[in-house]
């Protein structure tokens, strides 16, 4: 499956999934955040996860690991089955946050390099990127997910001069930032059953311009990141699961509508902002429904 967006790969054991993804009815890992958002092999990266449940944000340790198995072309998934169930991963430790270098051979395993015994490089995502899968498992549970940590790799098929220019001029992605939300956090009060506007605003420079190799035109072009916000709540109803802003669109705010639960009580809202090169920012708001 060719990825349209660097996403979160879920691998939890559960009953048939609730198709209304915006409502968190069981514990779930909503995001795995890498800092920095993009790094070269052997560069250190820290990882943290946003874990949500029907009662709000869950503070917990996770067992972290990096996938060491390349995904065979015959597998229709973003992560190798050997990394999910076959033990082909390197443990990074158990903690809320861990820090580790990307594998020295990350570009060969998951990028444009060609591992021994194989005949073609991995396919890039639509932004030209490659990703190191990072395994995150909630300790004491079967809740497991994979984040995708972007790797800076060399261009595999560009002419020599363009490849050199790309190495000199390409700027690695950085995580975006959520600068404002509605309701404004970290706490808010709403009326039971009310229609509440949810909105997220990101920073002026967060939709970054980046260098991209157009394989059809055989030239380097400058593109601008698309942005996407996923909406989550512990109850009520949200009009859409996610709202996106395309490349070239200057909007910095997106919104949707949340119908608050009909019964008074506590609720939590989560916003996950992603750029199209794998950067992530998150925000959580505790809501009193009255």
pLDDT in tens, 27-49: 999 999 999 999 999 999 999 99
Tens of pLDDT, residue by residue over 259-282, are 999 999 999 999 999 999 999 999
Domains along the chain with CATH numbers? 9-289 (2.60.40.10)
Residue 286 has pLDDT above 60, yes or no: yes
pLDDT in tens, 173-185: 999 999 999 999 8
Instruction: Please name the residues in contact with 66: beta carbons below 8 A apart, sequence gap of 6 or more.
Output: 89, 90, 92, 100, 102, 103, 132, 133, 134, 135
pLDDT greater at residue 15 or residue 255: 255
- Band of the pLDDT at 69, cuts 50, 70, 90? confident
Query: Over 60: is that where the pLDDT of 256 sits?
Result: yes
% pLDDT > 70, the chain: 90
Which two tokens mark 195?
């229609």
Give the predicted TM-score (pTM) of the model. Answer: 0.91
pLDDT at 200: 98
- If we measure between CA atoms, which residue out of 270, 225, 223, 231 comes closest to residue 245? 225
Q: What percent of the chain has pLDDT over 90?
A: 76
Which of the two residues, 139 and 80, has the higher pLDDT score?
A: 139
Average pLDDT over residues 61-80: 84
Would you say 170 and 91 are in contact if contact means Cβ atoms under 8 Å apart?
no
pLDDT at 122: 77
- Do 187 and 290 contact (CB within 8 A), yes or no? no
> How far is it, in rounded angstroms, from Cα 105 to Cα 137?
24
The reported pLDDT for the residue numbered 258 is 98
pLDDT band for 2, please (50, 70, 90 cuts): very low
Confidence of residue 117 (pLDDT cuts 50, 70, 90): low
- For residue 17, name the pLDDT band (cuts at 50, 70, 90): very low
pLDDT at 13 > cutoff 50:
no
* The most confident of 4-8, 22-26, 81-85, by mean pLDDT: 22-26
Closest CA to 270 of 28, 30, 70, 34: 30
pLDDT at 64: 97
Q: Are 152 and 172 in contact (CB under 8 A)?
A: yes
Question: Which two tokens mark 236?
Answer: 């009520």
Please tell me the predicted confidence (pLDDT) of residue 34: 98
Task: Evaluate if residue 7 carries a pLDDT over 60.
Answer: no
* Torsional class of 82: left (φ above 0), alpha (ψ -120 to 50), beta (otherwise): alpha
Residue of 121 and 237 predicted with greater confidence? 237
pLDDT (average), residues 201-206? 97
pLDDT tens-digit map of 127-173: 999 999 999 999 988 899 999 999 999 998 899 999 999 999 999 99
């Amino acid at each position: 499956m060719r990825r349209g967006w660097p996403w979160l790969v879920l691998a939890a054991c559960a009953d048939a999934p609730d198709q209304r993804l915006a409502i968190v009815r069981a514990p779930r890992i909503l995001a795995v955040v890498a800092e920095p958002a993009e790094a070269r092999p052997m560069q250190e990266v820290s990882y943290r996860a946003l874990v949500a449940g029907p009662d709000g944000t869950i503070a917990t340790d996770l067992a972290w690991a990096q996938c060491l198995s390349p995904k065979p072309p015959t597998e229709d998934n973003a992560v190798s089955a050997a990394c999910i169930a076959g033990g082909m991963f390197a443990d990074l430790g158990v903690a809320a946050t861990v820090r580790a270098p990307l594998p020295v051979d990350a570009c060969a395993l998951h990028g444009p390099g060609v591992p021994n015994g194989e005949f073609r490089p991995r396919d890039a995502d639509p932004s030209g990127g490659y990703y190191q899968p990072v395994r995150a498992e909630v300790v004491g549970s079967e809740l497991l997910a994979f984040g995708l940590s972007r790797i800076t790799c060399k261009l595999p098929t560009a002419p020599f001069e363009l490849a050199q220019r790309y190495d000199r001029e390409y700027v690695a992605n950085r995580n975006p930032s959520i600068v404002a939300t509605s309701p404004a956090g970290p706490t808010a009060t709403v009326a039971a059953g009310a229609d509440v506007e949810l909105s997220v605003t990101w920073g002026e420079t967060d939709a970054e311009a980046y260098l991209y190799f157009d394989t059809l035109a055989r030239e380097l072009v400058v593109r601008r990141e698309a942005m996407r916000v996923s909406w989550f709540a512990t109850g009520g109803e949200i009009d859409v699961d996610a709202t996106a802003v395309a490349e070239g669109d200057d909007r910095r705010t997106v919104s949707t509508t949340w119908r608050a639960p009909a019964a008074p009580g506590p609720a939590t809202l989560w916003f996950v902002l992603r750029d199209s090169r794998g950067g992530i920012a998150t925000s959580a708001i505790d809501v009193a429904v009255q």
